[in-house]
Structure 1
């Protein structure tokens, strides 16, 4: 996969997740801790930053914004 395509996928996923989180009327139903854990775990995977070193940082920023 081309780096630009991968970056586009990450941005699309980030936007979709933000829409889902913002759209939930009952924030208590959202397991925030699990989402944060999954995003941080994804950021820590060895190959995640290979094509773009900013991806791990972006994933952590997204986790922090939740």
Structure 2
């Protein structure tokens, strides 16, 4: 049983569901998702996420300033 303070990634939550593989897109497997998840460390993933967010907000700012 999970304790309230334990967190799961979306991938782990999906994997915990009954018949989880039926919720995957055709051609996608948990093995494939696991390979992606383990390809980079958590810190690298967080850095990439922050950079993508920065770029998104920069583009929003540019649109707001131009409009």
Structure in which a larger fraction of residues adopt helix? 1
> TM over 0.5: same fold?
no
> More relative contact order in 1 or in 2 (CA 8 Å, sep 6+)?
1
Q: TM-score, normalised by structure 1?
A: 0.31
